[in-house]
């Protein structure tokens, strides 16, 4: 039944009950109402209003709850589920429809994000493979050719050829580094622990001390969870290198209850009053894919801690 007719019937039933009470009861009102008659009328009106409010509250109360949740609904975290009011009234139907809508939206959003990130990882893998197989091999051939030419060149060109060869070697190292960042082969071959160790070693080469701690006895994780943990650690370390100005960083991985927790803490400048960039948004998107929760805590001048908790499958 539509909500409009539901309200009309409730009010009509209350008014009919009040009319029947006046007709069947001995109460009457004279031409000049007495104080006692006014008191009876006031009490009757109050009773009708209370009954009407109680009946409408049962039908329209859940509607107000849904409206309040719609006002504070945020896309990244989804919405809060409402308790089922029970019954078959319009309010209960609306609450069940609201909860079902949130379930569908979150499922579709997770599926869409998963497909997008899977396509992104596939593209990363393809680009890394092209860099390694094509650009890397081409630079290697250039290096070998320069070395042969250097042995046949006149003395005046040897120094120039050596500089060119050093530039080509530096370019080859950059290509390999970018390929590793795009698709960490060590993650596929040796697992998450070795991949985090390689990531910390590479970051330490930039002049920052990285302390890494991995708790023993961690359960086996799915490839999706391992990839999310690695990417979040990679993005967090990249943010530290670009913005934090830190000298020491600690990367820890352990189990807390029924979740595996990754933390990246630095002693840099801390969080500032600036809007979050695409890096933080990307980390949150990846965390949602595996049902994880990402938090960023920091104070000005006292460093920042990025924490990702992923429930164990």
Instruction: Name the strand (E) or helix (H) holding 157.
Output: helix 155-182
CATH top class, domain 192-313 = alpha beta
**Percent with pLDDT over 90 in the chain:** 2
Q: What are the sequence ranges of the domains in the chain? A: 3-72+82-108, 192-313
Q: Tens digit of pLDDT for each residue in 181-224?
A: 676 677 777 788 888 888 888 887 766 788 888 888 788 888 88
**Structure tokens, 187:** 């993650």
Average pLDDT of the residues of the chain: 76
Share of the chain residues as helix, strand and coil, in percent rounded to the nearest 5 = 65, 10, 20
Token readout for 172 is: 């080859």
pTM equals 0.56
| 73 Cβ contact list (under 8 Å, min separation 6) | 79
* pLDDT tens, position by position, 39-93: 766 777 788 778 777 766 666 666 666 666 665 555 444 556 666 655 556 666 6
Compute the chain's Rg from CA coordinates: 34
Confidence of residue 173 (pLDDT cuts 50, 70, 90): confident
Q: Which residue has the tokens 């250097």?
A: 150
Helix or strand run (H / E) with residue 10: helix 3-24
pLDDT in tens, 222-268: 888 888 888 888 888 888 877 777 778 888 998 888 889 999 888 87
Structure tokens at 46: 């109050």
Looking at the predicted structure, is the pLDDT value of residue 164 above 50?
Answer: yes
CA–CA separation, 140 vs 9, rounded Å? 85
Strands ordered across the beta sheet of 259-266: 209-214, 248-256, 259-266, 304-311, 293-298
Q: How far apart are CA 225 and CA 311, in angstroms?
A: 10
Contact present, 59 and 10 (Cβ < 8 Å): yes
Going by the DSSP 8-state scheme, the letter that residue 74 receives in this structure is B
């Amino acid at each position: 039944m539509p909500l409009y007719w539901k309200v009309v019937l409730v009010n009509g039933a209350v008014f009919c009950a009040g009319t029947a009470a006046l007709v069947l009861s001995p109460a009457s009102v004279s031409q000049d109402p007495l104080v006692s008659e006014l008191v009876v009328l006031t009490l009757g009106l109050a009773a009708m209003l209370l009954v009407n409010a109680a009946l409408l509250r049962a039908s329209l109360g859940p509607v107000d709850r849904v409206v309040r949740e719609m006002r504070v609904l945020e896309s990244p975290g989804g919405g809060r589920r409402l308790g089922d009011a029970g019954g078959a009234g319009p309010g209960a139907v609306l609450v069940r429809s609201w909860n079902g809508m949130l379930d569908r939206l979150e499922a579709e959003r997770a599926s869409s994000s998963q497909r997008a990130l899977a396509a992104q990882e596939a593209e990363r893998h393809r680009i890394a493979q092209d860099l390694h197989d094509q650009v890397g091999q081409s630079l290697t051939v250039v290096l070998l050719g320069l070395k042969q030419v250097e042995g046949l060149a006149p003395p005046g060109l040897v120094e120039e050829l050596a500089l060119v060869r050093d530039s080509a070697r530096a370019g080859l190292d950059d290509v390999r580094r970018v390929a590793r960042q795009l698709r960490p082969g060590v993650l596929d071959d040796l697992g998450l622990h070795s991949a985090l160790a390689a990531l910390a070693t590479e970051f330490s080469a930039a002049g920052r001390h990285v302390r890494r701690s991995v708790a023993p006895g961690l359960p086996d994780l799915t490839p999706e969870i391992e990839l999310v943990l690695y990417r979040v650690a990679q993005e967090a370390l990249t943010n530290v290198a670009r913005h934090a100005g830190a000298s020491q960083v600690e990367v820890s991985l352990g189990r807390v209850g029924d979740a595996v927790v990754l933390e990246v803490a630095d002693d840099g400048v801390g969080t500032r009053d600036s809007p979050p960039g695409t890096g933080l948004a990307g980390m949150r998107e990846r965390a949602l894919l595996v049902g994880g929760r990402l938090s960023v805590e920091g104070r000005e001048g006292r460093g920042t801690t990025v924490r990702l908790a992923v429930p164990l499958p």
